[in-house]
Amino acid sequence: MAAPAALKRISATVWELPVSYKKGMLVPARIIATEKLINAMDAGVFEQVSNVACLPGIQKYAFCMPDGHWGYGFPIGGLAAMDPETGVISPGGIGFDINCGMRLVLTTLTYEEVKPRLRELVDALFYRVPAGVGSHGFVRLSHDEFCRVAEQGSSWCLKHGYAWPEDLEMTEEHGCFTGADATKVSQRAVDRGYNQIGTLGSGNHYLEVQVARPENIFDEDTARAFGITVPNQVVIMFHCGSRGFGHQVATDYLQLFLSVMEKKYGIRTNDRELACAPFRSREGQDYFAAMKCAVNMAFANRQVILHRIREVFSDVFGRDPGDLGMDMVYDVAHNTAKLETHLVDGKKRELLVHRKGATRAFGPGMEGIPARYRETGQPVIIGGSMETGSYLLAGDPGGGDTFFTTAHGSGRTMSRHQAKKLIKGQKLQRDMEERGIYVRTASWGGLAEEAGQAYKNIDDVAEATELSHLSRRVARLVPIGNVKG
């Protein structure tokens, strides 16, 4: 699809729409992409990122990452940093699946050890980690106890035996955004979420058994620092978020913001999906506290899933999870808003950073990442399609221009409806198994939606992040087994 005529190339990987492109733009809009990716970018990206550039209080630029595509409000891959005193907070800049994120877990097993038992392993994971729409987890909670989970995040899991202490260290913000307040969450949201801890959900969520092959290691020193130490090492990656709980939190506050945005605060947006409120307003602060509850629920959800994964590997291979080396590499969120300190025009400033389908990627030496990663930079996980593979990367010291943010996945090129029309789930499963990837799915239609051809080339996206200093490639991880939501 042709890019707008006003789009200017700033560098090999930076493209800009000037403030003159659209009435009301306060800052330019920048898309990070190679020429190949920019030429394939859908028109919705240019429309949406330029709308984001009109939001009150936005600083420097509105951004879209290399995996960008049309989304709700912000494009998927959208990034915007707001002045917390003059700016707004927008659920459309965070997403309905609040703290949808990625977690990567090590083992000391090799492909040769796992291959003979792969079907048994994936089948067991499929039964122990519920997937699909409406799936319920094994953790039974009262509404009150669920609210405690939402306020405490991964620390609740540690107290109740679902986490190792080092898991919290290896999770962004130690698995808890402070300031979560469950009194700011609706009863409807609690009703939707209280029985979903430990579940994958549906859509593009997955649990994948992967292999780090020697030929796919880009940086051996950093790979070792991240725990990739043996040839053909087996790892586990999974992707999920806050399920119906986060969706309801976003829905509730979008409706509230639509009712007060213009009448009470005089704010107009180009798109109702960018409904917002001043960050320091009562409504803005209430949403921020509720959003943090959904963030923490998602951290707890992924932590309980890890607990189940460790149980399955222990049962299948007859060894303790500690003996199997089932340590976390990292857990990163990609649908959040967070107060962070960044350099703006040479001065340190506190900013409210919206990341929508975009991943925090702090560079070497930055505060907020585990001490063991201070020299390498934060581990970054970019998930690809279930057919192609995913990437482990590291935060780049040159990432300051984008507030140390990178891509989150490969990015769709085909709608879910179109994918289901073109692809048959059962045939796709057979084809993948012939190529050495064993898949279990909760839905044939859901499997078809997630076929590799529905996504951008993950190698192109990862290369673009490295060329633009968003994050640097460490290892490409290839799938051998997959549980699909």
Q: Tell me which residues are annotated as active site.
A: 408
Residues annotated in a binding site for Mn(2+): 97, 205, 239, 334
Binding residues: 97, 204-208, 239, 334-335, 383-386, 390, 408-411, 484
Binding-site residues for GMP? 204-208, 334-335, 383-386, 390, 408-411, 484
One-letter-per-residue 3-state SS of the chain: CCCCCCCEECCCCEEEECHHHCCCCCCCEEEECCHHHHHHCCHHHHHHHHHHCCCCCEEEEEEEEEEEECCCCCCEEEEEEECCCCCEECHHHCCCCCCCEEEEEEEEEEHHHHHHHHHHHHHHHHHHCCCCCCCCCCCCCCHHHHHHHHHHCHHHHHHCCCCCHHHHHCEHHHHCCCCCCHHHCCHHHHHHHCCCCCCCCCCCCEEEEEEECHHHECCHHHHHHCCCCCCCEEEEEEEECCHHHHHHHHHHHHHHHHHHCCCCCCCCCCCHHHCCEECCCHHHHHHHHHHHHHHHHHHHHHHHHHHHHHHHHHHHHCCCCCCCCCCEEEEEECEEEEEEEEEECCEEEEEEEEEECCEECCCCCCCCCCHHHCCCCCEEEEECCCCCCEEEEEECCCHHHHCCEECCECCECCCHHHHHHHCCHHHHHHHHHHCCCEEEECCHHHHHHCCHHHECCHHHHHHHHHHCCCEEEEEEEEEEEEEEC
